[in-house]
Amino acid sequence: LREQLRHLEELQRLDARLQEIDRLAVALPKQLAADQEDLGRIEALLQRERAQLQETEAYYEKLQDQVKSEEGQFHKSKQKLGQVKNTKEYLATQREFETLKQLASTHDEELAKLQAAMEQFKQSIVAHELDVNKLRGHLESSSQRTIAHVEEMRAEAVTLRAQRDAISKHVKPDLFKRYSTIRIRRGLAVVPVHDGVCKGCNMSIPPQLYNSLQRANTFETCPNCQRIIYWSRLMEDDSATTGA
Ligand SMILES: [Zn+2]
């Protein structure tokens, strides 16, 4: 019985690791893909910001040219104002002069706003470039690591499965069947009972059952969680497998 239990516990350990490997083999590449998507999002954002900056710069230059030509008009208008010959002409020129003055002040404000916007774009671009570079560097190394790690785990799984097959040959077929059924349903299939408490479900087992566990002649099942149970002291010298 002790030997059978030891086999079952070893089986359980191998199965747990195999399950973990299966989980990681899916989860790690998934995480990598998610990180790559993040990078793609920031890169797209960066591209949009660069395009916006370019557009703003183009508009700024256009406006600057316009302002220059308006300045020319303004000076002309000012000169004209000094040379007018009658009131009617004066009033018209005065109106033109005021309009141009107003336009110049509006455009100055607009240019200042554009400059501030361009400055902001530039700062944001620099920050996002840093993010992209950091993330890209991280992804490069982590993707290589992940691929290597998954490879290693696959190789490990092959070894573990071979060990599992070898051990399962030593387990009595009906016990093995019982083990497999519980394992699929509950994860842990074989658990110790310590001080009358099942370590699988943390419930007390009936004293009678605890007594027969201590005699260790038969395989018993926890009445609450249906796991295969054994007396914890029975395997105590087997430190590698108890208490897991
Ligand atoms: Zn239980």
pLDDT value for 238 = 53
pTM of the model: 0.71
Phi, psi of 159 (to 5 degrees): -60, -45
Asked if 50 contacts 128 with a C-beta cutoff of 8 angstroms, the reply is no
| pLDDT band (50, 70, 90) for residue 85 | confident
Q: 160-169 pLDDT, tens per residue? A: 999 999 999 9
CA of 186 to the centre of ligand 1 (A): 10
CA of 187 to the centre of ligand 1 (A): 12
Distance, CA 205 to ligand 1 centroid (Å)? 8
Compute, in angstroms, the gap from residue 228 CA to the centroid of ligand 1: 8
pLDDT above 50 for 243 = no
Structure confidence at residue 237 as a pLDDT band (50, 70, 90): low
- Measured in Å, residue 185 CA sits from the centre of ligand 1 at 13
